[in-house]
């Protein structure tokens, strides 16, 4: 192979390494990319693998323009997370069609490094991190290979050297991670589509919306209580409150009251720390009813907890709630009137039944009980797959299908109450949770999503009423899986009842929670806590910069001193490295090897000066000569050679 520094032709082995590194970096993105981009990657990779002649520059420019136009047609933009990643993948692939020089290959490798980072825009889990670490290892090994164009490197040695380089970078990485100044917000704005597809409660509720969410086993939030957790029937996690019904779906009023009504609490408070997964909405989840609010939040007009900004990153906050409370004893007329509104037409049967109840009841509390008795005593069924409903959805559910999920029962109950003149509204959130005994915290999943109702009763204020508890009480006491019959489309996690599978799942969740808390959740507050323990009280940016510089500098000095102490040149022969230790030991004993002295002559002179070392020095020198000039030294012989030198070093005192 002809080689010049300015020009570089990829050998087949380096070409294979580069293609493998790029394929591993691109692979996790393929399910998110248009199929034609994946086919483009395969075609270009095959061309380089079989060493097809590279296209002319004009053809390459035309292909790049067509690719950009195709991405614009697929995403209607070239900006944003998804379109930007697709453009980066496509252009990295096309870079292979012009990789003729060392510079081109280096550019492709560094773009691959950058592409690795883009995966964290979609996932930041432990498996993702481990996979990307493997990809970085392969890319680094590829970088090592193309920087040794004059000779072949064994793949095992190439990977080992890459692992050593990454291992040496770990201490520096830890120092940067711990001491690089954290800021309260992001350093730059994320593209808007980076927050699409986040799972969570919606700001509206229609038949089937929560049942669809309940088929997801994704974690909604985790809760660590300061003391004993409340009973299952008290674990109502309040989310969006919906008070407007358009005949089909429930939603929140566009112009809510400026502040919530009065609240009176009784009993002992419940203190806890909640770690909320991002959902791109403003509401925070809190145990009904929150009393102490986390920073940058407020209590909404319906006692829902609202953040100042949409929750787009995992959020950890402290909260205090009172399970026993009275709220809204003296609401305004506007709030009560809003809680009585119904569409002018539709659901005539339900209106007539509610009117009959109102005429026969002594008070509003009796109307509530009549509705609960209807659900409890009639043939209603709790199901994740109810029949579809038409225009008069409430009538069809109450009098015909009688099969539904929590949104069907909560929505029809509130309609009944309003038709009977009782102020009522729908509350959505989560109910229950699963205790993790390994981490001593509660896991609340999307499958725990729930909807219930609140009615306003004189002298009692807003009272929680859960009609689902009348139909399927086991849903409240034991969770969703216990309330549904076999065959319902529950997430796999909800069906796992095997003991060892349960332990494995909880252990894995504990590991994920620690990863979230101490790695992904290492923000400004945790950094200040660490610095205060190290003696830096309220460290400034200047002190952080000094600590960072000092830490990295100390590590670099330690690495430099270690390498100088070892004095092992890069690419040195292993047998020569071991033999040099033997020579240095003899030099400390006063027997210095001359520059022009071969190993056999040196061993002979050593035997003359120190007859007691004749046997060991001669055997070591003979073994060294055999290994040094062997075409392919045996690994076991090298280990044996190292043992003899170590034994000699221990035999000869300093």
At residue 457, the 3 state secondary structure works out as strand
Give CA–CA dist 302/71, Å, rounded.
45
Residues 147 and 212 in one domain: no
At residue 343, the 3 state secondary structure works out as coil
- C-alpha angle 509/515/519, rounded to 5°? 165
Residues 133 and 278 in one domain: no
Give CA–CA dist 205/168, Å, rounded.
53
Residues 210 and 121 in one domain: no
Considering the domain boundaries, does residue 342 fall inside one? yes
Considering the domain boundaries, does residue 86 fall inside one? yes
Which of 116, 134, 153 marks a domain boundary?
Answer: 153
List pLDDT tens digits, range 255-298.
555 566 678 888 889 999 999 999 889 889 999 889 888 888 98
* Residue of 119, 406, 448, 509 marked catalytic: 406
Count of all residues that appear for the chain in the document: 654
Residues 30 and 127 in one domain: yes
Q: What is the pLDDT of residue 500?
A: 75
**564 or 228: which leads in pLDDT:** 228
Considering the domain boundaries, does residue 388 fall inside one? yes
List pLDDT tens digits, range 77-131.
988 889 999 999 999 999 888 887 788 888 999 999 999 999 998 888 999 999 9
List pLDDT tens digits, range 285-338.
999 889 888 888 988 888 999 999 899 888 899 999 999 888 888 888 888 899
* Section 169-178 average pLDDT: 83
Residues 238 and 135 in one domain: no
The pLDDT-based confidence of 527 (bands split at 50, 70, 90) is confident
Residues 358 and 221 in one domain: yes
Q: What is the pLDDT of residue 7?
A: 41
Considering the domain boundaries, does residue 398 fall inside one? yes
Give CA–CA dist 470/353, Å, rounded.
19
The pLDDT-based confidence of 3 (bands split at 50, 70, 90) is very low
Give CA–CA dist 453/465, Å, rounded.
5
Within its chain, how far is the Cα of 562 from the centroid? 37
Ramachandran assignment for 104, one of left (phi > 0), alpha (psi -120 to 50 degrees), beta (any other): alpha
Residues 146 and 229 in one domain: no
Query: How many other CB atoms are found less than 10 A from the CB of residue 143?
Result: 21
Which of 464, 495, 526 marks a domain boundary?
Answer: 495
Are 446 and 503 spatial neighbours (Cβ–Cβ below 8 Å)? no
* pLDDT at position 66 over 90: yes
Residues 361 and 445 in one domain: yes
* pLDDT at position 238 over 90: yes
Residues 246 and 133 in one domain: no
List pLDDT tens digits, range 356-374.
999 999 999 999 999 999 9
Told to judge if 450 belongs to the known catalytic residues of this protein, a careful annotator would answer: yes
Range of the domain at 383: 204-495
Taking the model in full, what pTM does it have?
Answer: 0.75
* Residue of 364, 448, 466, 509 marked catalytic: 466
* pLDDT at position 515 over 70: yes
* pLDDT at position 498 over 70: no
* Section 380-390 average pLDDT: 87
Considering the domain boundaries, does residue 516 fall inside one? no
Residues 488 and 617 in one domain: no
Q: What is the pLDDT of residue 321?
A: 93
DSSP type of residue 330: S
Helices (H) and strands (E) in the chain, counts: 24, 21
Residues 140 and 269 in one domain: no
Considering the domain boundaries, does residue 43 fall inside one? yes
Told to judge if 406 belongs to the known catalytic residues of this protein, a careful annotator would answer: yes
Which of 450, 467, 495 marks a domain boundary?
Answer: 495
Considering the domain boundaries, does residue 335 fall inside one? yes
Alpha carbon of 235 to those of 130, 151, 324, 463, 479: distances in Å?
Answer: 36, 67, 12, 15, 11
Are 261 and 357 spatial neighbours (Cβ–Cβ below 8 Å)? no
Q: Counting Cβ atoms within 10 Å, is residue 454 exposed (0-12), middle (13-18) or buried (19+)?
A: buried
Give CA–CA dist 568/565, Å, rounded.
9
Exposed e or buried b per residue across 563-572, where buried means at least 16 C-beta atoms within 10 angstroms of its C-beta: eeeeeeeeee
DSSP type of residue 579: H
Q: What is the pLDDT of residue 522?
A: 78
List pLDDT tens digits, range 601-612.
999 999 899 888
Quote the mean pLDDT of the chain: 84
Domain count, the chain: 3
Give CA–CA dist 63/67, Å, rounded.
6
Considering the domain boundaries, does residue 381 fall inside one? yes
Residues 459 and 590 in one domain: no
* pLDDT at position 210 over 90: no
């Amino acid at each position: 192979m002809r080689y010049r520094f300015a020009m570089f032709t990829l050998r087949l082995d380096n070409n294979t390494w580069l293609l493998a590194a790029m394929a591993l970096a691109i692979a996790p993105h393929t399910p998110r990319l248009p199929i034609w981009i994946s086919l483009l990657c395969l075609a270009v990779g095959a061309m380089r693998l079989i060493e097809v002649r590279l296209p002319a520059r004009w053809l390459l420019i035309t292909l790049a323009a067509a690719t950009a136009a195709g991405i614009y047609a697929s995403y209607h933009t070239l900006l944003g997370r998804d379109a930007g990643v697709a453009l980066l993948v496509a252009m990295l692939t096309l870079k292979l069609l012009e990789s003729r020089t060392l510079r081109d290959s280096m550019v492709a490798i560094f773009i691959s490094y950058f592409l690795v980072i883009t995966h964290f825009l979609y996932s930041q889990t432990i498996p993702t991190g481990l996979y990307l670490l493997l990809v970085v290892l392969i890319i680094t090994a590829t970088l090592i290979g193309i920087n040794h164009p004059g000779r072949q490197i064994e793949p095992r040695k190439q990977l080992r050297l890459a692992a050593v380089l990454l291992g040496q970078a770990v201490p520096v990485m830890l120092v940067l991670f711990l001491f690089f100044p954290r800021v309260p917000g992001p350093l730059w704005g994320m593209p808007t589509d980076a927050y699409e597809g986040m799972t969570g409660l919606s700001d509206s509720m229609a038949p089937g919306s929560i049942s669809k969410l309940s088929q997801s086993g994704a974690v909604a939030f985790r809760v660590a209580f300061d003391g004993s957790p409340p009973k299952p029937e008290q674990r109502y996690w309040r989310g969006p409150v919906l008070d407007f019904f358009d005949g089909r779906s429930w939603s929140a009023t566009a112009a809510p009251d400026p502040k919530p009504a009065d609240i009176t609490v009784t009993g002992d408070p419940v203190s806890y720390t909640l770690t909320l997964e991002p959902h791109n909405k403003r509401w925070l989840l809190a145990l009904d009813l929150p009393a102490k609010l986390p920073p940058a939040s407020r209590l909404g007009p319906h006692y829902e907890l609202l953040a100042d900004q949409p929750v787009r990153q995992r959020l950890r906050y402290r909260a205090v709630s009172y399970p026993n409370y009275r709220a809204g004893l003296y609401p305004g007329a506007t709030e009560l009137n809003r809680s009585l509104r119904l569409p002018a037409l539709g659901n005539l049967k339900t209106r007539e039944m509610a009117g009959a109840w109102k005429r026969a009841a002594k008070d509003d509390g009796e109307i509530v009980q009549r509705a609960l008795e209807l659900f409890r005593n009639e043939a209603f069924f709790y199901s994740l797959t109810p029949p579809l409903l038409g225009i008069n959805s409430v009538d069809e559910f109450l009098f015909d299908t009688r099969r539904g999920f929590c949104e069907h029962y909560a929505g029809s109950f509130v309609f009944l109450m309003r038709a009977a003149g009782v102020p009522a509204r729908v509350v959505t959130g989560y109910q229950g949770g699963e205790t993790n005994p390994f981490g001593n915290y509660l896991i609340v999943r999307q499958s725990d999503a729930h909807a219930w109702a609140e009615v306003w009763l004189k002298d009692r204020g807003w009272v929680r009423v859960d009609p689902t508890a009348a139909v399927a009480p086991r849903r409240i006491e034991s969770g969703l899986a216990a309330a549904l019959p076999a065959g319902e489309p529950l997430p796999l996690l909800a069906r796992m009842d095997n003991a060892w599978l349960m332990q494995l799942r909880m252990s894995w969740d504990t590991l994920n929670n620690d990863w979230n808390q101490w790695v992904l959740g290492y923000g400004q507050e945790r950094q200040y806590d660490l610095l205060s323990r190290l003696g830096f009280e309220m460290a400034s940016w200047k002190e952080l910069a000094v600590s960072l510089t000092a830490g990295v500098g100390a590590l670099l000095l330690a690495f430099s001193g270690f390498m100088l102490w070892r004095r092992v040149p890069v690419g040195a022969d292993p047998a020569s490295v071991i033999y040099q230790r033997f020579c240095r030991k003899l030099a400390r004993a006063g027997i210095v090897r001359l520059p022009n002295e071969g190993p056999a002559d040196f061993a002979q002179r050593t035997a003359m000066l120190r007859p007691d070392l004749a046997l060991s020095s001669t055997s070591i020198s003979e073994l060294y000569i055999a290994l040094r000039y062997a075409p392919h030294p045996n690994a076991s012989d090298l280990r044996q050679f190292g043992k003899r030198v170590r034994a000699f070093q221990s035999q000869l005192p300093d």
